[in-house]
Amino acid sequence: MTYMAIKHLHMTAAGLSILFFIIRAFWSVSGSALLQNRFVRIAPHVIDTVLLVCGLALAGMLGAAAGQPWLITKIVLLVAYIVVGSYAIKRGKTAQSRAWAAVLAVAIFVYIVGVALRHSPGSWFF
């Protein structure tokens, strides 16, 4: 697979990932039973696996061993997004705490997109 094909698959998976996250976070905050649907529980893991595998492939193609600061920033922020996102979907004790976690997770995601597009740890700011 070529670099551009993997990059487009990665970007598509990222778009689907945040879309599914926002929907699931809304359902979590509103207490919807739809959150327990089998497809809803499985699809995000499949999408996120594709996202991660493509990201690792792209990092390998870019020579991630060179320690590119923007790539390291993306990885650190990805871990933060996963932790905060888990509070938004299931670990948050109250609807309000899940809502705040969802807002923070989306903000982290937007920052990650800026890092990816600008190849700068400063994201949209530098």
The single-letter code of the amino acid at 56 is L
The pLDDT score that the predictor gives to residue 82 is 93
Strand residues in the chain grouped as ranges (E): none
pTM exceeding the 0.85 threshold for the entire prediction: yes
Query: What pLDDT, on the 0 to 100 scale, is given for residue 1?
Result: 80
Predicted confidence pLDDT, tens digits, the chain (126 residues): 899 999 999 999 999 999 999 999 999 999 999 999 999 999 999 999 999 999 989 888 887 656 688 888 998 999 999 999 999 999 999 999 999 999 999 999 999 999 999 989 999 998
pLDDT on residue 71: 87
What's residue 53's pLDDT?
94
Q: How far apart are CA 4 and CA 13, in angstroms?
A: 14
- Spell out a b/e string for 93-120, using b for 16 or more CB atoms within 10 Å of the CB, else e: eeeeebbbbbebbbebbebbbbbbeeee
The pLDDT value given to residue 61:
87
Query: Helices 38-62 and 3-30 meet at what angle, rounded to 10?
Result: 150
Kindly give, in sequence order, each residue whose CB lies less than 8 Å from that of residue 12, ignoring residues fewer than 6 positions away.
none
Query: Residue 43: its pLDDT value, please?
Result: 96
How many C-beta atoms surround the C-beta of residue 21 within 10 A? 21
